[in-house]
Amino acid sequence: MFDNCTDNSLKLFQQLNDFGARVIVPDAELFEIKANNVLLREAKGNVVILFQDDMVCEDIHIKEKIGNVIAFYGKSLGLLGGRDGFELNELSFPEKPISRVSAWQHIKDENTLLKPFEYAGRTILNRGPLVFTKDLLRNVGYLDEIFYPQWGDDVDYCCRARFSHGLQNVVFQCDIKSPLEWGTTRRGSKLKRGYDRIMRRNWDLITSRWGKFLTTKV
């Protein structure tokens, strides 16, 4: 998916695409959530991994790791995430994670880091990468585009899988390269500041839907 790419990435990928990957270039810019939903609908395999453009997978065992989780949880499996997962005990904004486990190399508390091939159940997963099975999509549906253009749809989806369908969301260890300087919205940029209002609106929507399930402090 090349959604309003203004650099040379599309041309470069077309030169390197000797493995027959399908390339999707929308007529109009979709932004994150709608672009992700297009990929989820169009993907042909039984397992769909969503990678954002600020991450590179360096894990040669990622398929095996995902397969292990699917085999362990079976039909009770919800969403999988390869970044981090956590719980909440209050609904303040921005969120204050507890019981965090992570596969992300930037987390300062090494006690939360998962070891190779480890995984753990948590209610909320952060985007990047996210793993959907086709069974999950058939049962739970797609990302809610009310959160357009981005942010919060992953949290909402985790809550939907957990609280509406009784499924277990899982964070698994995977080797992803994602330097902080690659993520514009992580660095206090004008783009991030421009999204603050949207992020707060979306957080209020999440807590109005799921607050009573996430914590007793509503």
CATH number at residue 72: 3.90.550.10
The average pLDDT across 142-148 equals: 97
Which two structure tokens, joined as six digits, stand for 90? 């209050």
Q: Are strands 130-133 and 47-50 parallel, antiparallel or unpaired?
A: antiparallel
For residue 5, being part of any structural domain is answered with no
Nearest to 169 by CA among 142, 208, 130: 130
For residue 8, being part of any structural domain is answered with no
For residue 4, being part of any structural domain is answered with no
Give the residue numbers spanning the domain of 81: 13-177+184-214
Q: pTM of the predicted model, to two decimals?
A: 0.91
For residue 155, being part of any structural domain is answered with yes
* Residue 183: HSE in the Cβ half-sphere, 13 Å Cα cutoff: 15
By mean pLDDT, which of 2-16, 31-45, 93-107, 122-136 is the weakest? 93-107
| d(C-alpha 24, C-alpha 20), whole Å | 13
For residue 1, being part of any structural domain is answered with no
- What is the amino acid identity at position 181? E
Q: Which residues contact 45 (CB under 8 A, 6 or more apart)?
A: 134
Q: Please report where in the chains the tokens 């921005």 appear, as a residue.
A: 94
Number of domains in the chain: 1
For residue 2, being part of any structural domain is answered with no
pLDDT band at 191 (very low <50, low <70, confident <90, very high): low
By mean pLDDT, which of 9-23, 25-39, 181-195 is the weakest? 181-195
Mean pLDDT of all residues belonging to the chain: 90
- Residue 14's alpha-carbon distances to 11, 20, 21, 173, in angstroms, are 5, 10, 9, 31
For residue 60, being part of any structural domain is answered with yes
By mean pLDDT, which of 37-51, 126-140, 174-188 is the weakest? 174-188
pLDDT band at 217 (very low <50, low <70, confident <90, very high): very low
